[in-house]
């Protein structure tokens, strides 16, 4: 079973204001309150953060989510 974390409503609303980078997902950097940054993480449907199999992150650990913008033009 996948390890994932449902984001808070305000985080979901924030991510929903950006376009998807693929079919149903966005790529984000997550800053935790302990200073660790989780780079290039996948969020599905602006709602579920995909975690590594052994990661244990609580919602309150997240202090910032930054959407990764595509630098290329189609």
Query: Which pTM was predicted?
Result: 0.87
60 SS3 class: helix
| pLDDT given at position 71 | 58
Burial environment of residue 4 by CB neighbours within 10 A (0 to 12, 13 to 18, 19 or more): middle
Q: Which two tokens stand for residue 50?
A: 């995909």
pLDDT one-digit tens code per residue, 19-56: 998 899 999 999 999 999 999 999 999 999 999 999 99
């Amino acid at each position: 079973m996948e390890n994932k974390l449902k984001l808070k409503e305000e985080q979901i609303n924030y991510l929903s204001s950006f376009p998807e980078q693929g079919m149903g997902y966005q790529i984000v950097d997550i800053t935790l309150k302990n200073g660790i940054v989780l780079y290039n993480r996948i969020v599905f449907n602006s709602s579920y953060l995909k975690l590594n199999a052994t990661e244990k992150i609580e919602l309150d650990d997240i202090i910032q989510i930054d959407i990764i913008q595509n630098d290329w033009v189609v």
